[in-house]
Amino acid sequence: MTGVGAKAYDPGSASGECPVPLLRRPGAASRERTSELDRLLGRVAAGDTAAFERMYDEVAGAVYGLILRVVRDAAHAEEVAQEVLIEVWRSAPRYDPSRGGAMAWIMTMAHRRAVDRVRSEQAASDRADRAGRREITPAHDEVAENVEKRLEHERVRRCLDTLTPLQRESITLAYYEGYSYREVADMVATPLGTVKTRMRDGLIRLRNCLGVA
């Protein structure tokens, strides 16, 4: 039985109000930027290198930041980010806009590559070491990003704060550290079903808090 997880699952509070009203309305500006990104990717698909440059400026910070967060090592992160961005160029003609938007496509690719890197290339001791210094929320970039990115960062941090500590732990270990759900279950000595449930309940809560359709 998935006892603990089943108890933790509370659809009422999962769909409940977020602490800050702003959180339920993703800004119109970010939606515009998304469609702008889709338009750029369409031009990239046609081999437009100038469009690729503009797209680079839009996404490179998020791509590099996420990869750095997962692989932890700046040199490795740079290498993986380069691979991903070149892969974006290479496979842009295969991008299907009906499947969730350009940003999701690019970031999913970045995340998979980063996870792939930590799973295949880092020694077990290295991973254990990383586990020792896990952080819950994304680190702040000292170099000033634009205001909208800061707001988004703050929004995500606040939404992460609405999760139970156990939900937050399983989601961050998986997404930001690249651990599989089986590894997470081992690390926190919890049954597999419970970990799967925590991840699901936590993501539902996050999804609602962030106003994802």
Segment 70 to 109, residues that bind other proteins, using CB under 8 A = 74, 78, 81-83, 85-87, 89-94, 96, 98-101, 103-105, 107-109
Q: Which is nearer to other proteins, 144 or 189 (CB)?
A: 144
Q: Please say whether the beta carbons of 169 and 160 come within 8 A.
A: no
- Which residue in 43, 122, 138, 187 binds other proteins (CB under 8 A)? 138
d(CA 9, CA 151): 29
211: left (phi over 0), alpha (psi -120 to 50) or beta: left
Which of 88, 110, 126 has the alpha carbon at shortest distance from 176?
A: 110
The yes or no reply on residue 7 touching other proteins (CB under 8 A) is no
d(CA 119, CA 99): 27
- Which residue in 36, 38, 73, 145 binds other proteins (CB under 8 A)? 145
Q: One symbol per residue from 45 to 64: x for binding other proteins (CB under 8 A), - otherwise; what is it?
A: x-x-x--xx--x---xxxxx
Q: Which is nearer to other proteins, 120 or 125 (CB)?
A: 120
User: Token digits for 8?
Assistant: 């933790």
Q: What is the DSSP letter of 169?
A: H
Query: Within positions 175 to 204, which residues make up the interface with other proteins, using CB under 8 A?
Result: 175-176, 178-184, 192-193, 195-197, 199-200, 202-203
* Number of residues forming the site for other proteins (CB under 8 A): 87
